[in-house]
Amino acid sequence: MSIKVGDKVPAFSLKDQNGVERSLNTLGAKALVLFFYPKDDTPGCTMEACAFRDQYPIFQGLNAEVWGVSGDGASSHRRFAERHQLPFPLLVDEKNKLREIFGVPRSLLVLPGRVTYVIDKEQIVRLIFNAMLDASGHVSNSKSILEQLGS
């Protein structure tokens, strides 16, 4: 299964680094920027997460939440979030179930891919940005589509 632009996102629920259950239902009338990244504390992933951190107030002003997702465990996510002062949740997808639901491809056949989805308040996918080496592009493209949607 692979989610495409225009698809309604299926219901999902995962715990974040602090054990808080996160699901689309908890968002209310907010859009969601859901970014899948390969691994905590790697150079590209740190750059991407910190870029989302730095722009987080703008995303909030656009009535959107930001959630990161990787296959790392809660303790790794906690360390990563604390070390870089990330203000948004990091979802624990240790068995890569959510990654599979969304159809996030592997990069170079080995590494978990870096893909960002912008999901509007009706839970429809409005953007899929797939670029392993363009960490900052995930932030700018997400911001741009949210501005266009007038979230």
**What does the domain layout of the chain look like in residue ranges?**
13-149
Look up the pTM and report it: 0.93
Question: How many Cβ atoms from other residues are within 10 Å of residue 5's Cβ?
Answer: 12
Q: 13-149 is classed in which CATH architecture?
A: 3-Layer(aba) Sandwich (3.40)
Residues 12 and 145: their CA atoms lie apart, in Å, by: 23
Q: What is the tens place of the pLDDT at every residue in 46-105?
A: 999 999 999 999 999 999 999 999 999 999 999 999 999 999 999 999 889 999 999 898
Known catalytic residues?
Answer: 45
Residues 106 and 110: their CA atoms lie apart, in Å, by: 6
